[in-house]
Amino acid sequence: MNKDLFLIGIDGGGSGTRVVLGDAQGRELAQAGSGPSGLGLGVERAWQAIGAGCADAFAHAGVPLDWSRCLLGCGLAGVNNRDWLAAFRAQAPAVAGLAVESDVYTSLLGAHGGAHGVVVALGTGSQAAALDGNGECRIAGGFGYPSGDEASGAWLGLRAIVHAQQALDGRVPNDELAQALLTHTGAHDRDTLIIWSCEANQTAYARLAPIVIAHRTHPFAARLLGEAGDEVGKMIAALDPLAALPVALCGGLGAPLREYVPQIYQPRLREPLADSAHGGLQLAQREAARLAG
């Protein structure tokens, strides 16, 4: 293996990017973060965010960034769209190597250390994956905003804003939850909320999810969080019908939604061993070994 290489793990979603910088053996040197790099927000924007995160990581490590010495393992939201993936590869800088998988796959590598198991990645979007005894990765969910990505931040936010809409015209009480949602959006009447909704993307809706969690005792929020837990249960059941594999909930909403997962799945829930960015570092190590022959 080229000892002059740097291995980089990337976790790129709709709300942010996490970078783990390692040496040629995968020993961690630094971490950094930057803006969103999910491909649904644009390939050029994704590379800008990845570039900014990598620059910060190298700065923390006190090493100059030289793309030609970098081998990237990227776990990105949106790679299941083949056109986006092709465009992402086409716009890559002149790196030493580039491995790209879904962020749920790198979550799987990180959470179970490459061993068999199920992950449900819950962030701006959502997707579940399982690594079975044959080393095959199977996927559930992840069809994307706005119609899919059940139990994700965007899914929660898209439903939560309905409470604010109905509060504005008197269909439900204009209570603390409605006020918190309206304050976040900056809307104060019907017209300004419509303007916000027309401009909002998946990231904007996902930013409403913490408000739902903060008001978890509110009947509307409690019902919504319960529905999210049920959706997580459906993904687990689809990927592991024999109920034999450990399950890790990953992403920013993994911990907050854990208590809402149906009781039948609770004994199998495990804390992830590592996050998706560290899974990306494992992916980079695998690619380095493959290139070394």
- 137 & 69 share domain: no
- 1 or 74: which carries more pLDDT confidence? 74
**Strand order through the sheet with 117-122:** 137-140, 126-131, 117-122, 247-250, 269-270
- 123 & 82 share domain: no
**In this model, does residue 133 exceed pLDDT 80?**
no
- 132 & 255 share domain: yes
**In this model, does residue 119 exceed pLDDT 90?**
yes
**156-168 pLDDT tens trace:** 999 999 999 999 9
- 222 & 284 share domain: no
Give the mean pLDDT of the chain.
Answer: 93
Is 222 part of any domain? yes
Q: What mean pLDDT is predicted for residues 113-118?
A: 88
- The pLDDT score that the predictor gives to residue 115 is 85
What CATH code is carried by the domain that includes residue 253? 3.30.420.40
Q: Of all residues in the chain, what percent carry a pLDDT higher than 70?
A: 98
**In this model, does residue 122 exceed pLDDT 90?**
yes
**In this model, does residue 1 exceed pLDDT 60?**
no
Residue appearing with tokens 């994704």: 46
Overall domain count for the chain: 2
- 51 & 104 share domain: yes
Residue appearing with tokens 């939604």: 257
What is the number of other CB atoms lying within 10 angstroms of the CB of residue 7? 29
- 199 & 134 share domain: yes
Is 1 part of any domain? no
- The pLDDT score that the predictor gives to residue 293 is 75
Q: Which residues contact 208 (CB under 8 A, 6 or more apart)?
A: 153, 156, 157, 160, 161, 181, 184
pLDDT band at 55 (very low <50, low <70, confident <90, very high): very high
Provide the phi-psi class of 117: left if phi over 0, else alpha when psi is between -120 and 50, else beta: left
- 91 & 134 share domain: no
Is 251 part of any domain? yes
pLDDT band at 144 (very low <50, low <70, confident <90, very high): confident
Is 163 part of any domain? yes
Strand partners, 18: 11, 33
Is 33 part of any domain? yes
- 261 & 282 share domain: no
- The pLDDT score that the predictor gives to residue 107 is 87
User: What is the distance in angstroms between the CA of the first residue and the CA of the last residue of the chain?
Assistant: 9
**274-284 pLDDT tens trace:** 999 999 999 99
Q: What mean pLDDT is predicted for residues 225-244?
A: 96
- The pLDDT score that the predictor gives to residue 2 is 58
- 83 or 144: which carries more pLDDT confidence? 83
- The pLDDT score that the predictor gives to residue 113 is 85
- 53 & 25 share domain: yes
**In this model, does residue 148 exceed pLDDT 60?**
yes
Is 238 part of any domain? yes
- The pLDDT score that the predictor gives to residue 160 is 98
- 71 & 168 share domain: no
pLDDT band at 3 (very low <50, low <70, confident <90, very high): low
Domain that holds residue 265: 114-270
- 131 & 175 share domain: yes
DSSP for 66-103, please give it: -GGGEEEEEEETTTTSHHHHHHHHHT--S-SEEEEEEH
Q: What mean pLDDT is predicted for residues 40-55?
A: 95
**32-44 pLDDT tens trace:** 999 999 998 899 9
Three-state secondary-structure class, residue 191: helix
DSSP for 87-153, please give it: HHHHT--S-SEEEEEEHHHHHHHHHHTTSSEEEEEESSSEEEEEE-TTS-EEEE----TTT--TTSH
- The pLDDT score that the predictor gives to residue 131 is 83
- The pLDDT score that the predictor gives to residue 137 is 84
- 13 & 98 share domain: yes
